[in-house]
Amino acid sequence: MCDVRAPAAKDHLKYTETLKVLTKVGDITPEQFQDVVYTWEKNPEIYFPRVIVDESDTVVATGMLVVEQKIIHACGKVGHIEDIAVSKSEQGKRLGDHMISMLTEIAKEQGCYKVILDCSPENVGFYEKCGYQGAGIEMAHRFD
């Protein structure tokens, strides 16, 4: 049985470890992690971070909805799904599906006119199964 909650400062190690399934994370100190969590907490109308935790309250999946206020679409809102990651040991248990479904529903509740995400080509099938469709091409200009 798994539960869903907002991340807390105590989640530093397992949260960052889980994200490493997705991308490089870097060396994040507990203080840096706590500062980011505090920023999320101060802006609850923008940031909707969620973690799925196991019976021992250990993070096994991460996800984030960021709500962007727009001028277009009559000052509408767009939801951005970010940082979907599931611990290797928990993959195949539909936790990713659950996270996407939950964040999509939050976007709808927040009045977003659409919700979008970027993914690697190998994850397209997963997101299509979650009801998402290709809608353009991601472009990036990296500074690292």
- The answer to whether residue 136 scores a pLDDT higher than 90 is no
**Mean residue pLDDT across the chain:** 96
C-alpha dist (Å) from residue 7 to 19, 21, 40, 109, 118: 13, 17, 10, 20, 22
**3-129 placed in CATH 1.10.3720.10:** no
- The answer to whether residue 59 scores a pLDDT higher than 70 is yes
- The answer to whether residue 128 scores a pLDDT higher than 70 is yes
pLDDT of amino acid 6: 97
Q: Residue ranges of the domains in the chain?
A: 3-129
Chain segment 70-79, per-residue pLDDT in tens: 999 999 999 9
Statement: the pTM of the whole predicted model exceeds 0.85: yes
Tell which residue, 63, 62, 67, has the closest CA to residue 79: 67
Q: What angle do the packed helices 12-19 and 30-42 form, to 10 degrees?
A: 90
Alpha helices, DSSP H, located in 1-144: 12-19, 30-42, 72-75, 95-109, 124-129
How far is residue 112's CA from residue 127's CA, in Å, rounded to a whole number? 19
